[in-house]
Amino acid sequence: VRSYRRAWKAILALSTDPELPKKYRPIGKGDLKTADVTDERRLGQSTDNLAWFWNLGADKAGKHEWTEEFYRVSWLRAKARTCRWLEEEVIVAHKMLFVILFHAREAQVW
């Protein structure tokens, strides 16, 4: 990131193109998050967006296909997470029933 910032400042200082600062922006901490890889089950994944630099250099058609694929994969991950939580809810409900029945049986034994 330091190398990019240094190069970014140099390019801005040397450039005469007014559109350059809009195209190349500073990289912030939010652009470098890897939570999808490190914490698959974290909250807030449904609102994730691609960092701006992932769209650089792609033509309009290629960019659209690439970002569409990113959001499709994000949706599939969210769907899988939802299915896991629904399954977990059923499992916990059954475990709770088993505990109640176990204690009722133990009460009869005593």
pLDDT tens per residue across span 65-89: 777 887 788 888 889 989 999 999 9
Bigger pLDDT: 110 or 17?
Answer: 110
**44 and 26, same structural domain?**
no
For the entire predicted model, the pTM comes to: 0.44
Its domain, for residue 9, covers 1-32
**22 and 66, same structural domain?**
no
**103 and 73, same structural domain?**
yes
User: How many CA atoms, within 13 angstroms, populate the side-chain half-sphere of residue 22?
Assistant: 3
**67 and 101, same structural domain?**
yes
If one counts the domains in the chain, the total is: 2
Bigger pLDDT: 87 or 37?
Answer: 87
**3 and 48, same structural domain?**
no
**68 and 19, same structural domain?**
no
Give the pLDDT mean for 54-62: 62
**1 and 19, same structural domain?**
yes
Q: In sequence order, which residues have a C-beta less than 8 Å from that of residue 80 and are 6 or more positions away?
A: none
